[in-house]
């Protein structure tokens, strides 16, 4: 791949530093000026978005923003912003702002939100670092940083379940980290290089290379909660505070996916994988995830758990698009990263609003909740309809491209899997919306009264619901154009 103009700039470093500085500022504010805390937190999460907007024109024109920090010798920290980094970091930064605002609302007038904000901003910084890193080593550093800091977020509520879930996640993180380290080490030993953007470093297959591939697959598969490495996730999501679950679902799962994209397209390269066919392992696992996750989701009564299992199925879509190794499927996969973040993030935020305002976590207790919180449940319904892939919502576009990619790869049977999974989606999301609004004529008037919801909790929910159709109804589909541009670089 030709090295186009490299622009050396400090901005990628600042993007990662800003949330960390925000976290430090929030600590100081909590000690000396408690009233300033919320503003500092929101500013800390909003600055990366502005900085990305600053470099956006350059990257879209085909430049690479590059920065080599000579710390941590001998490798150093390398930041390199290409189209893929830009796209993913844009999503991460946007959702970082949304979740920070929501967390401020979530902990408004409630006990114990103080440390949560430090962790939140630090994890956002880690996610952004993963997105912007320029070689596998830097990627590994930020990946570990983010994962380890998420452990206290899972265990944040300090209940026995939360501690157990946190511990489970911690062990999984350690396993993922060790395997990733091994994979990086093997790659470095075989090729002497770890940098991205050269269209594949590895030339010939060898047993060690294969071991490295499966190390990557397991390590990132754990993070992306791919079957059969998913078992940390439902527990963690059920136990963690809702903003943490939303953060994990919309952003952290995607770092695992991003890792696999980097491994597929920057470490191993398209031609190599097509030759050896290792991607078929991922294909099988992705299809299993799609169906198994959806089937499990039907059986759940805890809303967070149902969303968690559904997340497993949705990540299956993304991995399917990646493993097919066709350009259209890759576009669908990238678009699905965005679409799923909007859909599932929105659903988790709705679940959080319901929990904070009524204390309800079980779906069976949520009859008629649409009368109490109409806007929240309309937002949830939009996300549910979106998840089935009904136009004009986002997931229609991603399913369209995934299906087209499956046809390009000569596997029309995968479309049947997509449809089956979509029907399953409908069967576990629609009953929630239906019970919220319909079939409850016997409810007492007291149960029909509208509840007041704090606006900082509501605004993110409304924004994410609008995002479900905003891009598809716009004159030109901005994320889709970005995804196509990225696919045209790799294919």
Partner 1 sequence: MEYEVVHTLLPAIIIFVPIVAGLAIFFFPNRLYPYKEHICVGITGFFFALVLSMYPAIKSGKILIGIFEYFSFPLSISFKVDQLTFFLGVFLSFVWFMAACFSPGYMANEHKKERYYAFFLMAEGGCMGTIFAGDLLGLFLFFEFMALTTYILIAHEEEPVVMFAAAKYLYMTVGGGLSVFFGMLLIYYLTGSVVFNRPGLITEPSGLATTAFVAFMLGFGLKAGMFPVHVWLPDAHPAAPSPVSAALSGIMLKTGVYGMIRVAFNIYSPEYIKGAGWDDYMLAVAVITILLGSAMALLQDDLKRRLAYSSISQIGYILLGVFLLNEQGMVGGLYHLFTHAFMKGLLFLCAGAIIVQTGIRNISRMKGIGLKMPLTMICFTIASLTMVGIPPFNGFISKWQLSVASLEAGQPLFVAILIISSLLNAAYYFPIVIAAFFATEKNGHHADALPEESGHPTTGSGKRWQEAPWHMVVPMGLLAAGCVVFALMPQNWPWELVVEAARSLFSM
Residues that bind partner 1 (CB under 8 A): 385, 388-392, 396-397, 399-401, 403-404, 407-408, 412, 415-416, 419, 422-423, 426-427, 430, 434, 438-441, 471-477, 480
* CA neighbor of 247 nearest in space, from 118, 95, 137, 355: 95
- Distance between CA 217 and CA 53 in Å, rounded? 32
- Judged by beta carbon, residue 23 or residue 338, the one nearer partner 1 is 338
- Judged by beta carbon, residue 100 or residue 327, the one nearer partner 1 is 327
* CA neighbor of 486 nearest in space, from 263, 314, 334, 273: 334
Q: How far is the CB of 431 from partner 1 (least distance, A)?
A: 8
Q: How far is the CB of 175 from partner 1 (least distance, A)?
A: 38
* CA neighbor of 350 nearest in space, from 46, 105, 68: 105
Q: How far is the CB of 334 from partner 1 (least distance, A)?
A: 14
Q: How far is the CB of 455 from partner 1 (least distance, A)?
A: 18
Q: Report how far Cα 190 is from the mean position of its chain's Cα atoms.
A: 31
Is residue 89 within 8 Å of 144, Cβ to Cβ? no
Q: How far is the CB of 418 from partner 1 (least distance, A)?
A: 8
Q: How far is the CB of 438 from partner 1 (least distance, A)?
A: 5
- Judged by beta carbon, residue 46 or residue 324, the one nearer partner 1 is 324
- Judged by beta carbon, residue 182 or residue 400, the one nearer partner 1 is 400
Q: Where are the alpha helices (DSSP H) in 359-444?
A: 369-372, 374-388, 394-408, 413-437
- Distance between CA 295 and CA 26 in Å, rounded? 42
- Judged by beta carbon, residue 53 or residue 474, the one nearer partner 1 is 474
- Judged by beta carbon, residue 250 or residue 326, the one nearer partner 1 is 326
Q: How far is the CB of 405 from partner 1 (least distance, A)?
A: 10
DSSP string, 215-258: HHHHHHHHHTT-TTS-THHHHHHHHS-HHHHHHIIIIIHHHHHH
Q: How far is the CB of 144 from partner 1 (least distance, A)?
A: 38
Q: How many beta carbons lie within 10 A of that of residue 114, not counting itself? A: 13
Q: How far is the CB of 341 from partner 1 (least distance, A)?
A: 19
- Judged by beta carbon, residue 358 or residue 408, the one nearer partner 1 is 408
Q: Which residues contact 96 (CB under 8 A, 6 or more apart)?
A: 19, 45, 48, 49, 124, 127, 128, 251
Q: From the CA atom positions of the chain, what is the Rg in Å?
A: 21
Q: How far is the CB of 385 from partner 1 (least distance, A)?
A: 7
Burial class (CB in 10 A: 0-12, 13-18, 19+), 239: buried
- Distance between CA 152 and CA 157 in Å, rounded? 9
* CA neighbor of 179 nearest in space, from 281, 270, 263: 263
Partners of 221 in the β-ladder: none
* CA neighbor of 104 nearest in space, from 193, 159, 22: 22
Is residue 464 within 8 Å of 398, Cβ to Cβ? no
Extract the tokens encoding 371. 């009368």
> What's the count of helices (H) and strands (E) in the chain, helices before strands?
20, 3
């Amino acid at each position: 791949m030709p090295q186009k103009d490299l622009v050396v700039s400090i901005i990628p470093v600042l993007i990662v530093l800003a949330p960390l500085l925000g976290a430090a500022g929030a600590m100081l504010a909590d000690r000396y000026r408690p009233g300033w805390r919320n503003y500092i937190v929101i500013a800390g999460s909003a600055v990366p978005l502005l900085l990305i907007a600053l470099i956006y024109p350059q990257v879209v024109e085909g430049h690479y923003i590059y920065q080599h920090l000579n710390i941590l010798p001998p490798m150093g920290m390398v930041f390199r912003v290409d189209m893929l980094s830009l796209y993913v970091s844009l999503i991460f930064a946007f959702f970082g702002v949304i979740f920070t605002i929501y967390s401020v609302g979530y902990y408004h007038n409630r006990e114990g939100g103080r440390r949560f904000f430090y962790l939140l901003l630090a994890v956002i910084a880690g996610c952004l670092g993963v997105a912007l890193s320029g070689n596998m080593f830097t990627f590994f550093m930020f990946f570990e940083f983010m994962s380890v800091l998420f452990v206290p977020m899972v265990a944040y509520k300090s209940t026995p379940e939360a501690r157990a879930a946190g511990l489970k996640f911690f062990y999984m993180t350690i396993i993922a980290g060790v395997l990733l380290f091994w994979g990086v080490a093997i790659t470095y030993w075989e090729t002497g290089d770890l940098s991205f953007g050269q269209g594949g470093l590895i030339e010939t297959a060898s047993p060690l290379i294969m071991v490295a591939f499966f190390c990557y697959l397991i390590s990132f598969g754990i993070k992306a909660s791919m079957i059969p490495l998913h078992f940390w996730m439902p527990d963690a999501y059920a136990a963690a505070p809702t903003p943490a679950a939303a953060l994990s679902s919309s952003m952290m799962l995607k770092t695992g996916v991003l890792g696999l994209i980097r491994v597929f397209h920057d470490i191993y390269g398209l031609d190599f994988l097509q030759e050896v066919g290792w991607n078929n392992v991922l294909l099988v696992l992705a299809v299993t995830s799609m169906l198994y996750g959806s089937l499990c989701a039907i059986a759940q009564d805890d809303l967070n758990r149902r969303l968690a299992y559904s997340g497993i199925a949705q990540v299956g879509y993304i991995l399917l698009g990646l493993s097919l190794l066709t350009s259209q499927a890759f576009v669908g996969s990238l678009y699905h990263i965005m679409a799923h973040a909007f859909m599932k993030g929105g659903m988790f935020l709705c679940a959080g609003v319901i929990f904070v305002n009524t204390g309800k976590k079980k779906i069976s207790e949520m009859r008629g909740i649409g009368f109490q919180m109409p806007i929240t449940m309309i937002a949830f319904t939009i996300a549910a309809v979106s998840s089935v892939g009904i136009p004009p919502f986002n997931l229609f576009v991603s399913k369209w491209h995934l299906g087209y990619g499956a046809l390009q790869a000569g596997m029309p049977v995968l479309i049947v899997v997509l449809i089956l999974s979509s029907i399953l989606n409908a069967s576990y999301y629609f009953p929630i919306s239906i019970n919220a609004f319909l079939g409850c004529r016997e409810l007492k008037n007291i149960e029909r009264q509208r509840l007041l919801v704090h606006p900082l909790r509501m605004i993110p929910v409304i924004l994410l619901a609008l995002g479900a159709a905003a891009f598809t109804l716009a004159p030109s589909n901005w994320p889709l154009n970005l995804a196509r541009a990225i696919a045209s670089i790799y294919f």
